[in-house]
Structure 1
Amino acid sequence: MIRYALTCPNDHSFESWFQSAEAFDRLTASGRLSCTVCGATEVTKSLMAPAVRPARKAGEAEQKPRPLSAPANPAEEALAALRRKVEENSEYVGMNFATEARAIHDGDAPDRAIYGEARLDEAKKLIEDGVPVAPLPFMPGRKTN
């Protein structure tokens, strides 16, 4: 992917992403690329400064790696803490959640804390049958990128 700063004959400036430089050329030649403000199809590339990371200072490379992202606010911190607590104190049962929850409720499986995934119809049926369940405000770790 490549990002270009673009301008039209009416001096409108905007940016757009393209699969490649050739993709930009094809779209421009076919007239399928237009200004986001006025719709003009005579769009050209503008000068654009590259995004360059500064060089590392001596000793920086040995620092402990940082997480990819950190909670941005107290609500995200609370959700991260909840997730850790659920994952540390419960057993992940995956797509078998509805079956396991019902078996625990009926006494056919050992009583334990579980979490997992269920289809909407399965979750509704559990609630209708009095099985205590609640949705979690996050996806299981195995389901995220």
Structure 2
Amino acid sequence: MIRYNLKCAQAHDFDSWFQSSEAYETLRAAGHVTCPVCGSGQVEKLLMAPAVRPARSAATPPVQPPAPSLSQPQNDREQALAALRAQVEANSEYVGMNFVTEARAMHDGTAPERAIYGEAKPEEAKKLIEDGVPVAPLPFLPKRKAN
């Protein structure tokens, strides 16, 4: 396996693992290597230094920079998403997998109107939109344990 540092045409830096340099070239040529931020297929490899282990006799191990905290926003976009999430969670009710039922009931007038958010399968959300139920996807996942 080989890890490449990559950059898209919009100057987003990211990295990815590939089975080999030939696998990278094949996937890139087929349009399967895209930027995770903007989706651009114009991706190039950045200059990389090889990862060489120091000799076993080295007196002090190299100092590793601290890993970024995955629980704290790292840039302006992540901060904006965190603020949006906090606002949604503070001003609406989480209805989980009952979102489709609740949204449809409010639209039909059989349930009191209120701000809700939850989960729906893509085909269910599409059906709500086709039926005129005002819904919008949120750019974040609910806070529940995924693993």
Matches within 5 A, 1:79-94: 79-94=81-96
Q: CA RMSD in A?
A: 3.2
Cα distance in 2 for partners of 1:137, 1:76 equals 11
| Amino-acid identity (%) | 68
The CA distance in 2 between the partners of 1:101 and 1:115, in whole Å, is 9
Q: Secondary structure at the match of 1:78?
A: helix
Task: For residues 120-140 of structure 1, give each alpha carbon's deviation from its aligned partner in whole angstroms, at most 9, with x where no partner exists.
Answer: 111010000000000000011
State the SS of the aligned residue for 1:93. Answer: strand
Q: Which residue of 2 aligns with 1:104?
A: 106
Cα distance between partner residues in 2 of 1:129 and 1:103: 12
* 1:94-118 CA-partner distances (Å, limit 9, x unpaired): 0010000000011110100000000
Q: 1:77 aligns with which of 76, 79, 93?
A: 79
In structure 1, the partner of 2:126 is: 124
Runs (4 or more) in structure 1 with deviation over 6 Å come to none
- Equivalent residue number for residue 28 of structure 1: none
Distance (whole Å) between structure 2 residues aligned to residue 111 and residue 142 of structure 1: 25
Which has the larger helix fraction? 1
Could you give the per-residue CA deviations for residues 35-82 of structure 1, whole angstroms, max 9, x where no partner exists? x79xxxxxxx96383879xxxxxxxxxxxxxx8632111111110000
Note closer, same or farther for the CA distance 1:119–1:132 as it changes in structure 2 (3 Å cut): same
| TM-score in terms of structure 2 length | 0.53
Q: Which runs of 5+ in 1 are unaligned?
A: 1-13, 15-35, 38-44, 53-66
CA–CA separation in structure 1 for the residues paired with 2:90 and 2:120? 20
SS in structure 2 of the partner of residue 124 of structure 1: helix
Structure possessing the higher radius of gyration over alpha carbons: 1
